[in-house]
Amino acid sequence: MSVEDFTKNKDMKMSYFRAFLWQVVMGCLLSFTLQAQTKTVSGTGRGLQGRINNNYVIGLRWMPVGDTTTANSSATNYYLNAWMRYRANGYTIERRRKNSTTIERTVTILPDSAALSALALSSTSSIESEASDLLYGALYEPIELDSGQVNGQAIRIEQGTTADEQYQRYTLTALGAEMSFRAAQLAGLGWIDSTVSFGIHYEYRIREAGISEADTAVRSFVISAQAVPPTLVLVYPPRAKGGNKEAMVEWRWRDSNNATISNYYKAFSSYFVEKAPLVSPIVYTRVNTKPLFPFSDLTDTLSYRIPLDTNGVNYYVKIVGRTPFDEEINSAPTSVKGVEPIPYYSIRFDSTHRSANNQVYLHWVFPADTVDAQAQSKIRGFILRQSSDFQTFQSVTSGAFLSASTRQFTLNNVTQSRYYMISAVTVNRDTIHSVPVFVDLPDDTPPAKPRGLLATWQDSTKTIKVTWSPNTETDLLGYKLLHASLPNEEPSVLADSITTTTYIDTLIKMDNRKAYYYLVAYDKRYNHSEISDRIELKKPDKIAPARPVFSNYGLTASGSVSLSWVNSASIDVASYRLTRKPKGNTGVGSIIKSWTVAQAAETYMDSSTQVTSYTYYIQAIDSTNNMSADSIDVEVLTVMKSKPSLDSLVGVADTLFKQVALRWVYDATGVVEFQLLKAEGTSEQLSSWKIVDSFARTIFDDKVALGKTYRYAIRAVFSDGTMSNWKEITVAINP
């Protein structure tokens, strides 16, 4: 893109130009810097192709950049503050030999407004005069006047705040210095050292003039240069395509992926295109009088359309690269010639056919055959392309041409419906495309059974991630994921339009310990695959099982504790354990029995008790070691170990005196009393009747009636609080 092309719109707003030029400065000019933007000045240097007093000279170029000592942290103000001080104070250059601390030469460089003005007003229209015009306007013109010209186009600074004005002036200064090294010298942004000695390696410190030594570290820049012939980088050779009395020339000015080509980015600031007829002697003429700048940072190439006098005549075309020091370097030439334009010819399919054995026949017509006898000679051939999605068409012959006389083609082993397009390629390498046609094939073949189904629990999101291996069918449309909560349950569709191989299940029922997934693939004809193998996922179990419940307990005649219970109702219980501890004990107790759920124990006889009270509880443990409640809230059972029953108990009915005599035998020691119960009949509940002292062995009951039956029970009470078991007898009083 040339500056004249860029500036031909006279109504262009300066705000747009400013933003665009900022991209130019950052992407083009500052690419030549050799240090980070934390210094006030940045530049480049090299030995120029020239001799003064048989010594090589060294040229230096620089621009004001960032200012780390400024309180304002804005990157824009970094540049503007340094630029404003440069315009007022200029720069001091100190030269020393490499690895030496002795300063050999010191010069101060200031913008030369008079010389800039004189060159800008020169009658000779040149890059130097236009660059000087631009620089003078950016540095000195009042805001109400045009700031200068770029390739003959006046550029006016937008009126606005002082910061906006200085920002625009800075970018215009950068562009003017980029256009011409001679103009940059007059603007105080370039210098030639003609007092160097051949082969010596020098270091130059460029710093703001008038600053203290303390500020030099952050407001200066050191660059090294050796007084030897420079190694010049060649311009990348161009490519050219001929048209009707013209050619499009394209070349690379940068390639960020190619270390060699990227050097061109640093070497050349602008370009010219030259052409020459391929006749002896070869004399090149410059096509563009204005330089071409790589303004856009979005592409690695530049292109330029050049006129050709005659079609069919070969021309040499070359690119001339202009360095930041006004040197011009030629590329290798390439040849091109203009070609006669070819009228637009249409092309279309006139018939398509598919066979039962998976063959597709295509036939097309080239109507130009009937209107232009030479039409076929103006095409190189045909390319047949196909697509399954109407988006990307691929050649069926790997890019090879079908001959210009071909009008039909047969494809074998076609397994799916596709779009087809025929293209004619002209001798000028233009391409004419037909309207695509769709050839539909019957398809009742389902996709393969999905495989590789895997489900994993995502603890952070409390979801289940389901993944699988992708099917390879070219006409695959998607997948359906099915879900069940039980292994024998009919699965339901969880999602039916999945186009990836991953699904996140967020609708999880946590009341089920397991989840089951199945997958079905389907194609664009909605043929469904066989359902995949089932995948099972055990969800993380955070819920304790239901606690077991005691159903009965008691003391046996031998003094053992008999326990019965109902096991946990939870289906994931793996084991149980029975714990005993003395009443009032706050410890964990002793486990007296543990068993697996397969053993199905629901009773226990504890014969290892002492004369005390005990608390028993059962815990259920599931497969993930969640444990049911182990407090007394589960079930509390307090029992007391008892003494043996009475040795004998006899009841005698006396009908004469209407009484019952009860006699018993019991020789245990420590008895303090006997307790007796009585009930009339065989179904009445026994209730308290008499308490007698420990020496009694007989008692009479005269509260009886003839024809009645009575029941009696007796037990001994000991001094330690324990009791014997009840001894019961039934007595009938018959008349």
Mean pLDDT of the chain: 78
Q: Give the mean model confidence (pLDDT) for residues 126-154.
A: 68
Question: Distance of CA 600 to CAs 15, 226, 573, 594, 597, Å?
Answer: 88, 96, 11, 11, 5
pLDDT of residue 55 exceeding 70:
no
Least confident range of 147-161, 444-458, 565-579: 147-161
The dihedral region occupied by 375, where left means phi > 0, alpha psi between -120 and 50, and beta the remainder, is alpha
For residues 580 and 254, the model is more confident at 580
d(CA 288, CA 266): 22
pLDDT digits (tens, 9 = 90+) for 8-47: 332 222 222 222 232 223 222 222 222 222 334 554 444 3
Give the best-scoring range by mean pLDDT among 58-62, 166-170, 264-268, 400-404: 400-404
Which tokens in the block code for residue 633?
């809230």
Question: φ, ψ for residue 553 (rounded to 5)?
Answer: -160, 165
Check residue 6 and give its pLDDT.
Answer: 31
pLDDT digits (tens, 9 = 90+) for 279-318: 889 999 999 988 888 866 677 888 999 999 998 899 999 9
Least confident range of 22-31, 171-180, 217-226, 281-290: 22-31
b/e per residue 113-143 (b: at least 16 CB within 10 A): eebbeebbeeeeeebbbbbbbbbbbbbbbee
d(CA 329, CA 232): 8
d(CA 564, CA 635): 12
d(CA 82, CA 221): 13
Check residue 214 and give its pLDDT.
Answer: 63
Percent of the chain with pLDDT over 90: 26
The C-alpha torsion from 614 through 615 and 616 to 620, rounded to 10°, is -160
Band of pLDDT at residue 587, cut at 50, 70 and 90: confident
pLDDT of residue 215 exceeding 80:
no
Band of pLDDT at residue 1, cut at 50, 70 and 90: very low
Instruction: Please give the angle made by the CA atoms of 477, 478 and 481, to the nearest 5 degrees.
Output: 160
For residues 275 and 635, the model is more confident at 275
DSSP line for 329-384: EEPPPEEEEB---------EEEEEEE-TTS-EEEEEE-THHHH-TTTGGGEEEEEE
Beta strands in 437-484 (DSSP E): 437-439, 454-458, 463-467, 476-484
d(CA 269, CA 252): 13
ω into 281 cis (within 30 of 0): yes
Least confident range of 49-53, 300-304, 404-408, 630-634: 49-53
pLDDT of residue 538 exceeding 90:
no
DSSP line for 416-427: S-EEEEEEEEET
Band of pLDDT at residue 104, cut at 50, 70 and 90: very high
Question: What interhelical angle do 75-89 and 162-179 show, nearest 10?
Answer: 70
Q: Give the mean model confidence (pLDDT) for residues 407-427.
A: 88
Check residue 46 and give its pLDDT.
Answer: 41
DSSP line for 13-61: -HHHHHHHHHHHIIIIIGGG--S-TTSSEEEEEEEEEEEETTEEEEEEE
Residue 471 gets which letter from DSSP? P
pLDDT of residue 663 exceeding 80:
yes
pLDDT digits (tens, 9 = 90+) for 443-496: 788 999 999 999 988 878 888 899 999 999 988 999 999 999 888 888 999 998
pLDDT of residue 56 exceeding 80:
no
d(CA 615, CA 588): 11
b/e per residue 370-387 (b: at least 16 CB within 10 A): eeeeebeebbeebbbbbe
List the one residue out of 474, 477, 472, 483 whose CA is nearest residue 519.
483
List the one residue out of 164, 147, 165 whose CA is nearest residue 155.
147
Check residue 564 and give its pLDDT.
Answer: 84
Domains belonging to the chain, first-starting first, are 3-226 (no CATH), 239-337 (2.60.40.10), 348-439 (2.60.40.10), 454-538 (2.60.40.10), 549-640 (2.60.40.10), 648-732 (2.60.40.10)
Q: Is the dihedral of CA 363, 369, 375, 377 positive or negative?
A: positive
Check residue 262 and give its pLDDT.
Answer: 58
| C-alpha 21: how far from chain center | 35
pLDDT of residue 114 exceeding 60:
yes
Check residue 609 and give its pLDDT.
Answer: 65
pLDDT digits (tens, 9 = 90+) for 679-697: 998 888 888 899 999 999 9
DSSP line for 207-258: EETT--HHHHTTSEEEEEEESS---PPPPPPPEEEEETTEEEEEEES--TT-
Contact criterion met (CB below 8 Å) for 29 and 63: yes
pLDDT of residue 125 exceeding 60:
yes
Check residue 31 and give its pLDDT.
Answer: 26
- Helix (H, G, I), strand (E, B), or coil: what is residue 628? coil
d(CA 207, CA 92): 5
pLDDT of residue 577 exceeding 80:
yes
* Per-residue 3-state assignment (H helix, E strand, C coil) for 564-599: EEECCCCCCEEEEEEEEEECCCCCCCEEEEEEEHHH
pLDDT digits (tens, 9 = 90+) for 64-97: 775 544 444 444 555 667 777 777 888 889 999 9
pLDDT of residue 49 exceeding 70:
no
Check residue 163 and give its pLDDT.
Answer: 65
Check residue 216 and give its pLDDT.
Answer: 66
Question: φ, ψ for residue 230 (rounded to 5)?
Answer: -75, 155
First to last CA, the chain: 141
Identity (one letter) of the amino acid at 286? R
List 518's β-bridge partners, or say none.
482
Whose tokens are 């046609």? That residue is: 437
For residues 48 and 364, the model is more confident at 364
d(CA 319, CA 383): 34
Give the best-scoring range by mean pLDDT among 63-72, 127-136, 147-156, 294-303: 127-136
